[in-house]
């Protein structure tokens, strides 16, 4: 069967690369990118684009009616740091956007829905090392508890209505093509830009703050693998834990210095993102994803750093 894929929130860090990957697999005309904002050149020029605000259900309804998607990826969200500045807006967008899409997917019999969750669903009382799939979850950011509530909605729509909704708890995603937007893990992208542009960077997280991270190539591969996995293999309908690597600003600095020996780092005091990072896991147990759909990361810190340095250097020149 030929797929028709709708990606909502296509202009963001993950959307930009997912649109490209899915257009390569399914053909440009089969993948409709949509966003509230003007698309980036790469998206506008490689296939269909539709403007849509995920909170405007009428426009979304029209999109579903027009394109009859077989798969929908809902990527529009307000991330952790921005969510603390605009808590009500983050709740509204992250929650009602999801419910609109779940309802429309039911109405239009969309075969599969992808919705991203995050390591932000864990909180200060969750185990920090090898954080399991199931444990105490007491997120204390609006982003975190909107993602946790969203997971419950996904599981509920699957159990009550049979909707095939699939989800991953993304760690911090590192990439060089599109800018990240308002997350706590963003330092690990800014650092590469500043290392190449100015040779120095002030980190908003402290030297030894360890967080789970993943290179974009792995994140896209994981997302498409989960969506392609046979339905009978899936045992989790809330959201799968997923791990790539974990590192601290200090460890990342040392790796960058292997490419740029003069690079220096300093650390800001009292940034509000530190408290968010301190409430999150340091390492993740993703054995269920490995078991159910053969997940295996390909990038470690060494390979990620080499790839980021090379690609970013070329794109900045």
Which residue, 38 or 129, has its beta carbon nearer to ligand AKB? 129
Question: 172: number of CA atoms within 13 Å, CB side?
Answer: 31
Which residue, 39 or 244, is less far from ligand AKB as judged by CB? 244
Closest approach, Cβ 92 to ligand AKB, in A, equals 17
Residue among 150 and 183 whose Cβ is closer to ligand AKB? 183
Catalytic residue status for 143 = yes
Residue 291 DSSP SS3: helix
- Closest residue by Cα to residue 103 from 33, 157, 156: 157
Indicate the residue among 47 and 172 with the shorter CB distance to ligand AKB: 172
Q: How many CB atoms lie within 10 A of CB 34?
A: 28
106 three-state secondary structure: helix
- CA atoms of 180 and 261, how far apart (whole Å): 26
- Which two tokens mark 9? 């929130």
Q: What share of the chain is helix, strand, coil (3-state, %, to 5)?
A: 45, 15, 35
CB of 285 to ligand AKB, least distance (A): 17
Q: Which is nearer to ligand AKB, 145 or 170 (CB)?
A: 170
Smallest separation, CB 93 to ligand AKB (Å): 14
Residue 161 Cβ vs ligand AKB, minimum distance, rounded to whole Å: 27
Annotated active-site residue in 143, 187, 201, 299:
143
Helices (runs of H) and strands (runs of E) counted in the chain = 13, 12
What residue ranges in 156-210 does DSSP mark as E strands?
A: 165-170, 172-174, 200-203
Torsion of CA 307, 308, 309, 310, to 10 degrees: 50
15 versus 47: smaller Cβ distance to ligand AKB: 15
Is there a contact between 280 and 207 (Cβ–Cβ < 8 Å)? no
Q: How far is the CB of 41 from ligand AKB (least distance, A)?
A: 24
Dist CA 144 CA 155 (whole Å) = 17
* Chain position whose Cβ is nearest to ligand AKB: 183
Specify the residue for token string 């390569």.
Answer: 24
Q: How far is the CB of 213 from ligand AKB (least distance, A)?
A: 9
> What does the binding site for ligand AKB look like in residue numbers (CB under 6 A)?
79-80, 118-120, 143, 170, 172, 183-185
Alpha-carbon distance of 69 to 125, in angstroms, equals 40
- Provide the annotated active-site residues: 143
């Amino acid at each position: 069967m030929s797929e028709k894929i709708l990606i909502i929130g296509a202009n963001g860090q993950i959307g930009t690369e997912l649109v490209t990957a899915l257009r390569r697999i399914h053909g440009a005309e089969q993948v409709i990118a949509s966003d509230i904002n003007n698309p980036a050149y790469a998206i506008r020029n490689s296939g269909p684009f539709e403007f849509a605000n995920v909170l405007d259900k009428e426009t979304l309804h029209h999109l579903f009616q027009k394109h009859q998607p077989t798969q929908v990826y809902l990527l529009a969200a307000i991330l952790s740091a921005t969510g603390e500045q605009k808590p009500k807006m983050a709740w509204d967008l992250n929650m009602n956007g999801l419910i609109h899409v779940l309802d429309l997917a039911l109405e239009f019999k969309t075969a599969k829905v992808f919705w991203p969750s995050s390591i932000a669903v864990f909180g200060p009382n969750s185990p920090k090392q090898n954080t399991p799939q199931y444990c105490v979850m007491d997120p204390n950011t609006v982003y975190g508890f909107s993602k946790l509530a969203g997971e419950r909605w996904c599981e509920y729509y699957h159990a009550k209505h049979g909707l095939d909704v699939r989800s991953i708890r993304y760690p911090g995603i590192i990439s060089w093509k599109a800018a990240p937007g308002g997350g706590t893990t963003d330092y690990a992208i800014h650092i590469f830009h500043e290392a190449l542009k100015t040779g120095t960077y002030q980190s908003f997280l402290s030297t030894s703050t360890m967080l789970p991270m993943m290179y974009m190539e792995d994140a896209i591969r994981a997302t498409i693998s989960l969506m392609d996995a046979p339905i009978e293999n899936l045992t989790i309908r809330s959201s799968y834990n997923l791990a790539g690597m974990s590192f601290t600003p200090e460890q990342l600095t040392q790796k960058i210095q292997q490419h740029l020996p003069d690079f220096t780092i300093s650390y800001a005091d009292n940034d509000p993102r530190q408290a968010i990072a301190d409430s999150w896991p340091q390492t993740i147990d993703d054995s269920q994803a490995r078991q159910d759909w053969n997940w295996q990361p390909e990038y470690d810190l060494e390979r990620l750093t080499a790839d980021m340095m090379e690609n970013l250097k070329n794109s900045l020149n």
